[in-house]
Chain A
Amino acid sequence: MRNGTVIEVTGLRTQFGPQVIHEDLDFSVARGEVMGVVGGSGTGKSVLLRSVIGLIRPAAGRIVVLGHDMTALPADAVRALQRRWGVLFQDGALFSSLTVAQNIEAPMKEHTRMSRRLRRDMIDVKISLAGLPPEAANKYPSELSGGMRKRAGLARALALDPEILFLDEPTAGLDPIGAAKFDQLVRSLQRALGLSVLVVTHDLDSLHAVCDRVSVLIDKRVKVGTIESLMREPDPWIQEYFRGPRGRAAQAAAGHGAGTGNG
């Protein structure tokens, strides 16, 4: 159970009309690792994430998640599978008519047989795990700051104790201090709960802080490796990305904070 791959994508092709986003794309995520997905604007980072979680149907290829082929599975089996992962969308995607506590309770109520009291207990634990203050429980999403909304979204994503966590641009829109704290939170949760994480991001600091390996989307495919190994790739976009001024600054920052590299 502990080893092996949780996500295996082979020969993926996604297209919208005549526009091909991914062509013959292969990539995989191992259990317990944090995989970052980067790429220029419009290379289909979010599309890749959405394909893996079953929101977009690929034109060709296989997507195997937790041992099940998503493309061949009937709809109810996909729904059962979806309980085994959590997704954090860009702005949290909290249900605006529910409080934070009710947002976290929603998947528990729907998919578990836990008693009301146990649900309340677990909501409190998840709120604390996501680094939210206890008072946040009764607030509505509109009353929270952007950073708090993301944390609340993370708490909801953790509601069913997922095996895989999907994060779509988790640090976008956060100030640098909030972003660094969120990175630390993701890393510590990943270690404590033994999660596998797929994170789509633009944030170089975030890549250095949380990712074990990185997939770079180039020419409708991915190049996968650790940041060090990717820096040796000759591709001009990768060179520009990791060795440009921002890339170097992020690398220098990561170098100072020892122990945030590969786990």
Chain B
Amino acid sequence: MAAPAPRLDARLDGACLVVALGGRWTTQAIAGEDAALAALEPAGAMQARIELGEIDELDTTGAWLVYRTARELRRRGLEVDLSGGDQEQRDLIDTVAAHDVPCPGPPPPVNPLVTLLLRLGKATVEVLAEARDLVNFLGHTTVVLLRSLARPRSIRLTSLVSHMEQAGLNALPIVGLMSFLIGMVLAYQGADQLARFGAQIFTVNLVGYGVLREMGILLTAILVAGRSGSAFTAQIGTMKVNEEIDALRTIGLDPMEVLVIPRVLALMLTLPLLTFYADMLGLLGGAVIALVELDISFLQFARQLSSGVTLWSFWIGIIKAPVFAFIIAMVGCFEGLMVSRSAESVGRRTTAAVVEAIFLVIVLDALASILFSNLGI
């Protein structure tokens, strides 16, 4: 669409400033004419005439420029009249004139140092408040969970099984693949380094310790936090936006019992199983590399594993699983219930749930490492 530029011609006719406008005075076409009109110098003229006769097209922006030019010239003491133009154009100019209501400008920018301090303080208070609420929710969940376990009939079985399927069964392919690859990576790195000392066989110990104690559980927990923790937040958060949580309460159901407990229990039951599965595939990955790279047969691998790695290493990984599961599910449900009534907050809370869950899992894992090493196991 070719947009012929607006035409502007200003000349002095005796004591009269004549501003002749022509062409298209529209939002799309107007560019520098604004500055040209603002720079008009009356140069001693007493009157001004704005000619509209040649204008082909006029919209609110064009009408505004005509009006503003007239207003500015009047302010400088000139007598201004408009000539030419049809009724519609004049009506439009009158319309924009009636809407000459300046809005306050944007607030002046604050000192960046002050903004920084302000944001730091605000973020600190928010984090602390969130931590307090999370601890509060931890207590609440624990109480309701223990009460549910005392009265097993109150546990919603359908919901529990469905969440176990989604969080556990459906996660098998990705968890398995990931663990297998991690086992391979550990074996490769170990083989490279240990071969220098002729201690290739200890690659088995490295893979066994690494996978069983740390990698199996930690990576599975991180994956489940990303997969299921976020899903819990999104599900519960969407229910919150749709007022379903309020609807539950009004029909006398406790969202903690209906929504939170099945999810928490489901994850606490499935994460140990997933961890066991991840351990097995991690060892398999290590064993494959040991066979290919170091010529250690599966039998040798198993023998070295049973003599070099204590059973405790395996149990340490499995023991951590229900604790991590509890944290992941609790944080996911907590963030879901914290969603305010907007779609935007569902997204924000989901991100927060994943970040918090992973952070807490790693912190707990570090604490567990210190604890177990002091206990000497």
Contact = CB atoms under 8 A, between A and B. Distances in A.
A160 B92 CA distance: 15
Interface stretch (A44-52, A121-129, A200-208, A230-238): A121-129
B31 interface: yes
Nearest to A113: B31
A112 interface: yes
B344 A96 contact: yes
Majority SS of interface residues in chain B? loop
Most buried by B among A121, A127, A136: A121
Contacts of B59: 161, 193
B91 interface: yes
B252 interface: no
Interface string A109-132: 001111101101111111111000
A134 interface: yes
B106 interface: yes
Nearest to B101: A128
B34 A134 contact: no
A118 B61 contact: yes
Contacts of B35: 115
Contacts of B102: 124, 134
B27 interface: yes
Interface residues of B, number: 30
B60 interface: yes
Contacts of A120: 105
Nearest to A120: B105
Contacts of B96: 125
Interface in B16-57: 26-28, 30-32, 34-35
A136 B101 CA distance: 12
Contacts of A126: 60
13 contacts: A113-B30, A115-B32, A118-B61, A121-B64, A127-B101, A128-B99, A129-B99, A134-B103, A137-B104, A161-B59, A161-B60, A193-B59, A193-B92
Given A114-B27, A122-B64, A125-B100, 16 more contacts: A112-B28, A113-B30, A114-B30, A114-B34, A115-B34, A117-B34, A118-B30, A120-B105, A126-B60, A135-B103, A136-B103, A137-B104, A138-B103, A160-B28, A161-B59, A193-B92
Interface of A: 80, 83, 96, 99, 101, 108, 111-115, 117-118, 120-129, 134-138, 158, 160-161, 192-194
- A-B pairs with lowest CB-CB distance, top 8: A137-B103, A113-B31, A128-B99, A161-B59, A134-B103, A128-B101, A118-B34, A161-B27
